[in-house]
Amino acid sequence: MRETFLFDLVERVRTQFLKAAESCPADQRREVPQGFNNHLHWQLGHIVTVGEGILFRLSGEPSALPESYGALFSNGTRPSEWTQEPPSWETLVAQLNEQTARMRTVLAGRMDAPALENFLSMQTVDELLTAVIMHESHHAGTAKAMLRVLPIESK
């Protein structure tokens, strides 16, 4: 698969997620809809955090995120258990956009490079990109489902 296609697909999925998330009124971004464990603010932080881990840590690159993000946004975390204030919505959006640009710069020409760990049977950088696309597509769908529930709850 062409690397340009993979980079463009990551960017397209992220753009769709951000478009959906930004359509949520600011006062509802930290509301946990009924039936969900997390809110849209958590979803945004989770995508940045997991993307960083998969794309950079597993390809041997340093992380650009603070260590505290793991406790806030890793799998199994939820806002109801936070013991610290998370980064602002605006900070997370900026980091997601920066991460997308950094991905193209740092990982270009390395699609066949080996992953540091055999994470979910992924062995190369192009497979890591594919996993990020799959993961973020799932969360984009979750965000859209949340948006369907939030207006009902706010009435």
Using CA atoms of 127, 129, 130, 134 in order, give the dihedral in degrees to the nearest 10: 140
DSSP, collapsed to helix, strand or coil, labels residue 152 as: helix
Indicate whether 82 pLDDT > 90.
yes
- For residues 25 and 114, what is the distance between their CA atoms, to the nearest angstrom? 42
Region 74-93: what's the mean pLDDT? 96
pLDDT in tens, 100-154: 999 999 999 999 999 987 667 788 999 999 999 999 999 999 999 999 998 744 4
DSSP, collapsed to helix, strand or coil, labels residue 135 as: helix
Residue with tokens 């990982």: 107
Integer angstrom CA distances of residue 129 from 3, 8, 11, 40, 76: 9, 11, 11, 23, 22
pLDDT in tens, 39-63: 999 999 999 999 999 999 999 999 9
Contacts 24+ apart (CB under 8 A), 70-77: 72/42, 72/45, 73/42, 73/45, 73/46, 73/48, 73/49, 74/46, 74/49, 74/50, 75/50, 77/42, 77/46
The domains found in the chain, sorted by start residue, are 3-154 (1.20.120.450)
pTM of the entire predicted model: 0.92
